[in-house]
Structure 1
Amino acid sequence: MITNLDQIVERVKGTPNKRLAVAVAEDPHTIEAVGRAVKENLVHATLTGDEKAIKKVAAEAKVDVKLFEILHEPDKGKALMLAIGLVREKKADFLMKGLLDSSLYIRGIIDKEKGLLPPGKLLSHVSVIQVPAWKKLIVCGDVAVIPAPDLEAKIAILNYAIGVA
């Protein structure tokens, strides 16, 4: 049984690297986290956004930009759709939000023509939380995406959480 986040990281280290697409990667926390994941050989990363801003933020965070592929697109909406396109085209395995408004990010994901949400599926999220005083991980399903889920939505949320657990 996995009881902490470090165990998840160790398990991932034994698998082939996944490809990460970061939408609007002009944020120091994003750059630091992705840089660490690349250095730990967990992912290959492609960053979208304003290349000059990404390089400036990376330099300030002391992260080597040679760790990433950078696709220059200064317009945030277009940079998001560029990252989403990488996932749709199977050039990336998953998407990460950088420095852009959450509503824009979600709109891009649920876009019926160019987004990632399959028809008939529900947009939700699952969080895995480690609390030092607790002996195991906590898996939370949809704490904010669907404010008043009906029974069908609750079943989908539960199934997503079970899949992660």
Structure 2
Amino acid sequence: MIKKLDEMEKHLKLGERAILSVAAAHNEEVLISIKEAVNRGVIQPILVGNIDKIKSISKSINLDLENIELIQEDDIVKCAEIAVRLVHDNKADFIMKGLLDTSILLKAVLNKEYGLKKEGLLSHVMIHEVESYHKLLLISDGGMNISPNYEQKEGIIKNAILAAKSLGIEEIKVACIAAVEKINPKMQATIDAHKLQEACENGLFGKNVIVEGPLAFDLAVSSHASEVKGLKSIVSGDVDIIITPTIEVGNALGKSLTYMTKSKSAGVIMGASVPIVLTSRADSSESKLYSIIYGALISKNI
């Protein structure tokens, strides 16, 4: 079981680089993370974008392009299409967003002719390494689905479970969080969380998965908090996945961990046939690198 982000790299097969297609790759921050992933032997990139800009940036950051395929395209919409088609045609293992809007890339991913969409929905999964927690913590969904209904939450859990399996977790523990741990008819999050727990008990999420809810966040991450409140819980203090009721909760929780606890993190979009690396301009180069490595790890395990 992988408990630290640095351990992910060791679980990729030595000498077997994942092929990463990058849409609109003419961006310094993206190319810096690409350079580090290449130097570590994690990926073999295909860079789609303005070749002159890619070469200029690569020269300034000492990225060797000799063995890297470059595809010329100035139009960012076409950049997205080409990058997605590379995956669709089995010429790349996963995809990364470069200097283009997320909506443009996702529109290509959802294209009915050459896209990468499977049944279900797309959702964002962040993985955090927090110094005060004994293993990696996954949070979903703080980046895609604004106010998911019950059915969408089922999809979010399924995607997060798939992302967690790549970490070698034998028994995946999921907490559906809310403000309180009791069902309240006026709080939809508590109703959905309880239904999700029942669905898990009825086998919806497969073997070796435990879903509990509703749980307040402190009860999810602290067994001591559960003991104090007299709550019997299997996942409390040992949770792997936090499912948030809305995007605001997921977004705030993830950024709180990043900025207030200085946690290391990585993020991917799940729900397509391959993981999609979608980093923010504010993300550190370390976070971008970990996201690429996590995407490579997932792509080799799905």
Asked if these proteins are the same fold (TM beyond 0.5), I'd say yes
What does residue 24 of structure 1 align with?
24
CA contact (8 A) 2:20 2:94 kept: yes
Segments of 5+ residues of structure 2 without an aligned counterpart are 165-302
Unaligned 5+ runs, structure 1: none
Answer yes or no: is the 8 Å Cα contact 1:141–1:157 preserved in 2.
yes
**Counterpart in the other structure of 2:110:** 110
Does the 8 Å CA contact 2:15/2:41 hold for their aligned counterparts? Answer: no
- Between the aligned partners of 1:71 and 1:157, the Cα distance in structure 2 is 34
Report the AA paired with residue 114 of structure 2.
K
Measured in 2, the distance between the counterparts of 1:28 and 1:75 equals 18
Aligned-pair CA distance for 1:107: 1.4
Residue 89 of structure 1 corresponds to which residue in structure 2? 89
**Match of 1:139, SS?**
strand
Q: Given that residues 35 and 67 in structure 1 are in contact (C-alpha distance below 8 angstroms), is that contact kept between their aligned partners in structure 2?
A: no
**RMSD across aligned positions (CA):** 1.5
Distance 1:68 1:15, change over 3 A: closer
Deviation at 1:48, TM superposition (A): 0.1
State how far apart, in whole Å, the 1-side matches of 2:60 and 2:42 are: 23
1:9 correspondence with 2:41: no
What is the TM-score with the length of structure 1 in the denominator? 0.92
| Structure 1 outlier segments of 4+, above 4 Å | none
Q: Give the 3-state SS of the residue equivalent to 2:44 in structure 1.
A: strand
In the other structure, the counterpart of 2:51 is 51
Give 1:16 shift. 2.2
1:149 alignment counterpart: 148
Q: What letter matches 2:157 in structure 1?
A: L
When structure 1 is superposed on structure 2, of 37-46 and 108-117 the one drifting more is 108-117
CA contact (8 A) 1:81 1:108 kept: yes
Separation in 1 of the partners of 2:58 and 2:131?
Answer: 31
Deviation of 1:52 (Å): 0.4
1:32-70 deviation line (CA, Å, top 9, x unaligned) = 111111111111110000100111111122212224211
Residue deviations 1:7-53 (CA, integer Å, cap 9, x gap): 11111153722111011101111111111111111111100001001
Bigger Rg, structure 1 or 2: 2
Deviates more, 1:6-15 or 1:82-91: 6-15
Q: Which amino acid aligns with 1:97?
A: K
1:80 aligned residue? 80
Provide the TM-score with structure 2 as the length reference: 0.52
Paired residues, number: 164
Cα offset, 1:135, TM superposition: 2.6
